[in-house]
Structure 1
Amino acid sequence: MKRNLYILLGVIVLIGIAVYQNAGPGIQAAFRHEEPMPTETGPKAGLLAPAFTAQGLDGKEYQVGGAQDKAILLNFWASWCDPCQQEAPELNAIAEKYKDSLDVYGVNVTKYDNKKNAQTFVDKYKVKFPVMLDLKADIYEKQYKGVVFPTNVLIDKRGVVQEVVLGILSQKDLEKKVKHLIKS
């Protein structure tokens, strides 16, 4: 009798494991501990990314902030910035390679540049991702507390800043951070 009870318990455990593994994210989510969403906004890892809307060089409006379908790499730059020029081809490659899971947005801090030079930069480096204009540097200075060009802000799908990268990284290092961002 005891043997039958052990066999029955074993079968129930195996069925439970099979149901859990094949039931999809709904049941599995019930057993997962989710990180609570931050309530504070700011340009630091672990905080909600400051929300903004800005017009792009293409005339379209772009919006950053809150939950998105894809992770975001937000790149603040100026056309006269040598590291920004070095980084442009790398950002193009990353934007193309990860287009299904990452939105790359350039933000030209036009207060320290001008629209004509920004357009020349975009044309010269054949920038493949949207470029917004921060005409008065409100986004860069007030919301994201920018201090150096380039500044890359990595934002996950939930709208949470994962990392702020000041200055230029090698393509390999930046891509490593992007891969981690997409998985988060």
Structure 2
Amino acid sequence: MKSLAPLFILLAVHTNIYATTYPPLLANTLDGQTISSQGQVTYLKFWATWCAYCMEEMPLLEQSYQQANAGYHVISVNIGFNQSKRSITNYLKKHDYQFPTVFDSDGSITRQYAVLGTPQHILLDSSGNELYRSALFTDELASKLTKLQGRK
């Protein structure tokens, strides 16, 4: 029995990683609209303008937003560290990005979703259960989003 203890610990940790459930995100976007993840499959991307990988992936985020249809909801969260609403708004306008963006000025959203770095991609089901998380926009994430496109 003693030799099985590490296996049980591994299973407990593995189960906990995939059983994460978050409360709904309710926030105001940069343009003043209220946005919520409640009851919707939601793709969250946490980013910053000083993050090179984040900037490289922004066209993929826009593409995901444009293709989402009713299959999932996209919310962009700027982590707010060393940034201003004005600089973020100017950046988004300059590149004509349309996805809804929340400015996390106090870091509360970043903490709520246990984000430790950028970029961070999180896919949640309609109950707030974490379906997928990655540091980069991966082929696996792209595949999951493609399967969700057009679903109601």
TM-score range, shorter chain: 0.7 to 0.9
Shift of 1:180: 4.9
**For the pair shown, which has the larger CA radius of gyration, 1 or 2?**
1
Choose which of 81, 85, 88 in structure 1 pairs with 2:55. Answer: 85
Structure 1 CA distance for aligned equivalents of residues 105 and 126 of structure 2: 27
SS at match of 1:153: strand
Aligned twin of 1:131: 101
Number of matched pairs: 135
Choose which of 73, 77, 84 in structure 2 pairs with 1:114. Answer: 84
Aligned twin of 1:5: none
Aligned twin of 1:160: 129
**1:76 and 1:108 in contact (8 A); partners too:** yes
Choose which of 145, 148, 151 in structure 1 pairs with 2:114. Answer: 145
* Match status 1:53 vs 2:17: no
Deviations 1:18-66 (A, max 9, x none): xxxxxxxxxxxxxxxxxxxxxxxxx95332223332111111111234x
**1:55 and 1:62 in contact (8 A); partners too:** yes
Q: Which runs of 4+ in 1 moved over 6 A?
A: none
SS at match of 2:122: strand
| Root-mean-square deviation over aligned CA pairs | 2.2
**2:19 and 2:129 in contact (8 A); partners too:** yes
Deviations 1:81-129 (A, max 9, x none): 1111111111111111122211111011113321122112211222221
Name structure 2 gaps, 5 residues minimum: 1-15
Letter in 2 for 1:137: G
Structure 2 CA distance for aligned equivalents of residues 178 and 155 of structure 1: 11
**2:74 and 2:99 in contact (8 A); partners too:** yes
Structure 1 CA distance for aligned equivalents of residues 95 and 140 of structure 2: 21
Shift of 1:151: 0.6
Choose which of 128, 137, 141 in structure 2 pairs with 1:169. Answer: 137
Aligned pair in 2 of structure 1 residues 52, 173: CA closer, same or farther (>3 Å)? closer
Letter in 2 for 1:176: S
User: TM-score if structure 1 supplies the norm length?
Assistant: 0.65
Aligned pair in 2 of structure 1 residues 44, 129: CA closer, same or farther (>3 Å)? farther
SS at match of 1:164: strand
Aligned pair in 2 of structure 1 residues 98, 52: CA closer, same or farther (>3 Å)? closer
Shift of 1:173: 4.0
Aligned pair in 2 of structure 1 residues 179, 46: CA closer, same or farther (>3 Å)? farther
Identity, % of aligned positions:
25
Name structure 1 gaps, 5 residues minimum: 1-42
Structure 1 CA distance for aligned equivalents of residues 65 and 28 of structure 2: 19
Between the two structures, name the one with larger relative contact order (CA 8 Å, sep ≥ 6).
Answer: 2
